[in-house]
Amino acid sequence: MLGAIKNVGHVMYRVWFYILVTVPILLFFPFLLAFTISERTYPQFFWLARNLWARPILYGMGCFPRIIREQLMQKGKSYMLVANHTSMLDIMLMLHVSRNPFVFVGKKELVNIPIFGFFYKRVCIMVDRDSVRSRTRVYRRAQRRLDQGLSICIFPEGGVPEEEIVLDQFKDGAFKMAIAHKIPVVPMTFYDNKKRFSFTFYSGGPGPLRVKVHQFFETGILSAEDTSTLREEVREVILKDLT
């Protein structure tokens, strides 16, 4: 009986999440749409997404961010933001953590999510990981966004790993791009997102969302040959924190 009650609670918690995801998009649809017509208005779109979408979702779910910053990002400077990926809350939490406007690089399958996918394909850089041509286009689009003073966010595990995996192996893309464009890598550890809202259906619940923004990795003197070293050093920082 107690288990059945808990399962009902988990279902209601997930339904509430999707309501919180959908309602702000519908309420602010005209403004969101207007700010996606041109790349020049992306900072305004980012402000809306951060303050009127991501934050209401986090606080509405009873998930209150607690951020430890070992180093601060400078306003107007571009960065490569990376973190472990365990939950749909990762998107909202990343938006909350970074005041600097950034663009997500993510898998094209997210386009299929109703309503959310409509804006995802308009403002994010989509990648088909099985296509070399797609990965080449990602680099060109990222260069254009960096030239506009934006940052880039990539979850370097390349997807959400199985829940028993603490931290999957990292892909090269984020680190190769950071070195090519000479921008600092900003590693972040998301401690609690899997516990709060994992991809296991009957799970999750309110509570703190702890984040640590680690010391940045500078890439100014690095070359393409340093990609694997940078990748493993960044992964080790996050893995050490998680374990």
Q: Which residue has the tokens 């020049």?
A: 40
- The pLDDT tens digits of the residues spanning 145-178 come to 998 999 999 999 988 888 889 999 999 989 999 9
- Contacts of residue 108, defined as CB under 8 A and 6 or more positions apart, other chains included, come to 126, 127, 128, 134
- The pLDDT tens digits of the residues spanning 44-78 come to 999 999 999 999 999 999 999 999 999 999 999 99
pLDDT of 218 reads 97
Count of other CB atoms within 10 angstroms of residue 217: 18
User: Mind giving me the DSSP string for 115-132?
Assistant: THHHHHHHHSEEE-TT-H
Sign of the CA dihedral running 70, 227, 83, 33: positive
Which regions of the chain are under pLDDT 50? none
